[in-house]
């Protein structure tokens, strides 16, 4: 599968941990985040 770039949008003031969790899942599948 070709790596994709995924744009993550969210408020980091209250969702920082969840944001990082989702980012790590995307990276683990070989995709990039922006």
Q: Which domain holds residue 14?
A: 1-34
Query: pTM of this prediction?
Result: 0.81
SS (H, E, C) the chain: CCCCEECCCCCHHHHHHHHHHHHHHHHHCCCEEC
Predicted confidence at residue 1, as pLDDT, reads 79
Predicted confidence at residue 10, as pLDDT, reads 85
Which residue bears the tokens 């941990």?
A: 17
Q: Tell me: the pLDDT tens digits for 1-34?
A: 799 999 999 887 888 889 999 999 999 999 999 9
Question: What is the CB neighbour count within 10 angstroms for residue 5?
Answer: 9
Number of structural domains in the chain: 1
């Amino acid at each position: 599968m070709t790596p994709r770039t995924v744009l993550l949008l969210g408020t980091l003031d209250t969702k920082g941990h969840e944001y990082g969790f989702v980012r790590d899942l995307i990276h683990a599948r070989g995709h990039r985040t922006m």
